[in-house]
Structure 1
Amino acid sequence: MRDVCFRCWRPRPVCYCALLPSLPTRTRVVLLQHPRERRVGIGTARMTHLALPNSELHEGVVFEDDARIRALAADPTTAVLFPGGDADPAAGPPVRSLLVVDGTWWQARKMLALNPRLASVRRIGITPRAPGNYRIRREPRPECLATVEAVASALGALEGEPARFDAMLRAFAFMVDRQIEHQARSDGPRRRRRTQAASPLDPLRPHRAAPEKVVLVDGGANSGWPADAGAAGPRSELVHLVACRASGERFEAFLRPRWPLGPSVAHQLELPERRLLDGEEAGAAVARFREFVGPGSVLSAWGSFTLDLLAQEGLGRPPFLDVRDLCARYLRRRPGGIANGAQALLAGEPAEPPPRGSGRAGRTLGWLEVVLARLLHLAGEDHGAGLPG
């Protein structure tokens, strides 16, 4: 089995994570990915999502009943990025949310046709500053770019900083170049061979033998200020962090807020407000967490939110297992909250596990143990379920 990066899902020799920036944006980028595109190894929606902390990645074809997409479609500050868009990005209300349909052009047009709400949102197009670099896929027209190219160009126009978003394209250029090199080496006749069927849980198999190397983590943020409240600083900052290992070791830190505590943060995190205000300095907490993680470990969480907060605090981007993504891949649908994911995986109503720390994050960590243990078990069952040799 190939050694795969658990963040970008590319084989380690062609992992592009080291070249990915983390670019904060005023604009919320919401990627709507066709399910078939997720299986394309040289797709760029995940690359785009990883480079933009203020982004979401949704998979599907029809989003008419999706409450999140329905709300965005009804917001006049939302726009759809699509070739031939007839609106100037500078015209009309400022674009605060950008919906991006990711798929082949046939798939993208079909998705718009199947989603009247989406099709009714104002569209914006872009004029490429240079020809697209997607030399490993054929595009129907010169203005058709890879998703990462189109988003970089759109954000450059919307936020007035084209050069800053060009940094997103370094990883893209690396992926294209490596793919072309691989194709050049593989020009000889190909032999078909029967291989074991791929499993969505393949990334977990290396960890079945050493689960203690997986560090489960969850955190809480100081956020929730309305956009016009005038609060200085980032929209979210890490204020609570919990982690544990299969060996039973635990970690917890309360980080003193550097910005005014949001009006409902303590309530949402299920923590005493005084416990947060009396927390330790953020740098010291992150240093303790880095020591707890140690070398050779893999962080694992329900979604990338906590990892994004840690990266904002200077931890960088360690190897990462997104349990929510693995659960969705196995179930072939979005699992909803972590308790719902556990219920779907265990085919019943599992008893709520004991918390592994304080507040909501501690409860989430308890559920995360249950879900990851189940997925590791299922990964072992799947190991012999491929094609017969």
Structure 2
Amino acid sequence: MRDVCWRCRRPRPVCYCALLPSLPTRTRVVLLQHPRERRVGIGTARMTHLSLPNSELHEGVVFEEDARIVALASDPTTAVLFPGGDADPAGGPPVRSLIVVDGTWWQARKMLALNPRLAAVRRIGVTPRAPGNYRIRREPRPECLATVEAVASALAALEEEPARFDAMLRAFEFMVDRQIAYQATNDAPRRRRRAQAASPLSPLRPYLAAPARVVLVDGGANSGWPAAAGAAEPRSELVHLVACRPSGEGFEAFLRPRRPLGPSVAHQLEVPERRLLDGEEAGAALARFRAFVGDDSVLGAWGSFTADLLAQEGLGRPPSLDLRDLCARHLRRRPGGVASGARALLAGEPAPRGSGRAGRTLGWLEVVLARLLDLAGEEEVAARGAA
């Protein structure tokens, strides 16, 4: 058994306690740590907590019944530190309590999805003064920061003392440098990995480091009229299209029908008929969609229906991920609809990401992708550990 420091919980040779400052703050920092993150030796939530006397560290996933968190969430002076919030953390009402969700990008998003009270709290973001230094851990985007870096940046802005909170980063830099040095000098022979069949989730591995490349998409069609004998025109046409990226960017378009609107289309798509009839010209809507998707993205959908509609509209066949197929392969059974597939994966509850049935489906796709990426990431970590 290795000798471990009781305070930082790191092995004595890499204990960073001597580098930890004790920084009083007006802002109460409340860290909510995902249980899996607690087992990550190179995590930084505890480092953050030890540096800030006016801080709390709670472990869990769901805090809806936690009296302390419920009270904080109902206080207008509380904010959640999460990407996609205000550009300036110091803007808006004064922040007396800052809630920080600690976990991987997908764990943090799932925690917010499972905690509606937290999700409703004002969010603030930080603009990094320099790229993140978390060189020993994969981040979804270059601008993403370790928890200690994000908190230091947020407090620097909230308390208007940029230089004071740089002291929080000394222990972090020490930990990163020691880990890199250890990896460079570790010449222990690698264990031979047993040959294994490819994982059903291996198609997701290219997107673990860049999940924002995946554009989730769902569409609705104008159908319901029988095709005339010998007619060349398709039986269905795209009239509603929604899409989003895991980073939160969204897209929605109603395409004006080129043929008479089917008698039950608006009811089936759960949108007002007038919105369909007053939609934008199809070419303009599809041009906007092409610009949203860009050149380096892959489409993620449930089955092939939406991809077929897009191909029918002249968009060709861009690279795609069939999340229904990936879900079926992982579960080793048919998942049914997207909602039942999400529940079988133990994914979180979704928030609608657009209008009608397509917007609801897109919300389910978002939590399915988050869960599948989590599982693929765990597989990759386990595989590296066995190497």
The alignment's TM-score, normalised by the length of structure 2, stands at 0.49
